[in-house]
Structure 1
Amino acid sequence: MLGPRGRLDSQFIHHPRPSSAPDAQIGALATGASSSRDRSGRVLDAEQWLGDEHIQRDYELLAQELGRSDPNLATRTRFVDPLIAFQLSHGADSDALRAFHRLVDDRNGNDIADFLFLPVSDASPTDRARRGDHWSLLLIDRRDRERPVAYHYDSARGFNDRPAQRLAERLGANLHAASMRQQNNGYDCGVFVVDGTRALVGRLAVRRQVDLNLDNLVVDRRALQNRLRG
């Protein structure tokens, strides 16, 4: 387990890093899943599952926006690439530890990351044919380095409990279920992840004690499509 200062407390099995992160959404036969899809993350169809490239592109855009609007919060916040989140959960000790320090440390090796936003997938680390059925969101509050807290937001309640628990444990965080509006289709869980992230970041920018309830989250696929294209 990666402790609050990156300490490895237990050993875990090494699995090779996948060539791409899981294309994870509820509904294995949902429209738009295609191995030949655009990998830039700029193209998202009306009912297409979000892949790692869509989440990572929107996270990059959000990081840029936050850097302009609130540089202090931006310095203390990390929007984690789905590939890195997968590596932190399933990688070898040395790989996970290096990835962890690349996330939280500044150029001088000081741990300055208070908030981590990590996409969670149920993809198999051993079977590449099982690329995942669902995305959810893990927010880790590390303001108390000795007692980090993880909040799990799942738009299909209970579906990703096990992978979220594993990732939280690997990062030394105590896991709490957090409330989130539930999706009503088989393809929007990735939209819930990115829009949930944006909602929480907006609250962090306003006050120290954040309302963590996302029961009234408004998700907007069309707005996401426009952001990705832009």
Structure 2
Amino acid sequence: MFIPSLYSLSSSLLTFVALALGYSIGSFPTAFLLVKRKAGTDIRSVGSGNVGGYNAYTVTGSKSVGALVIAFDAAKGLAVALAAWAVAPADFLLQAAAIVGVILGHNYPLWLKFKGGRGLATALGAMFGVGHFLGVAWIGSWLVLYRLRKDILRANVLATIFSLAAVWIAPQSFVQFFMIRDVDTVEYAALVTVLDVLFLVSHRDAIKAWNTGAA
């Protein structure tokens, strides 16, 4: 009994470490630093207050700054996912913990008093370190939705919901075709669900505004 208990403790500790390290990397405030350098202002106090690529573009008027923020935020998500996979190739839970950690770090960075971004670019980057299904489903949905409404935030939210539905509804063999690592389809869908909840929570103010007709 002692050996399994010790193994369980060790596994739980590693999962917590993965979560913590993911948080640390995710909390690097790309948009805050670039906007501070470019415009000399605190991105949290202007525009939407969101510490992300779209608000960085809105505040600075620079597409290159916005694109750089999005690229870097996606890269830190991908880097965390791939690093966790490399450390424990057979342990999807550890990779999932690292991915959740990097999103939490991006959305609620300690250094910015827990006021960060919405986690979309970071989440998509991280999930490309597991497989391509979510990214393909999300991007495809977003392109259609944006073409219909010309509203970036609405397209972001609805594409997130539609791609989550696709993960659960699509045949498992089809989802597996897009995976780059061995992972149970239900476990993959469960991780996507957790990330979608975090994403929707980060958009709660925008969603409330739409429901009241304020946006």
TM-score, length of structure 2 as denominator length: 0.29
Higher strand residue share? 1
Larger RCO, structure (CA 8 Å, separation 6 or more)? 1
TM-score, length of structure 1 as denominator length: 0.28
Higher helix residue share? 2
- Larger radius of gyration, structure 1 or 2? 2
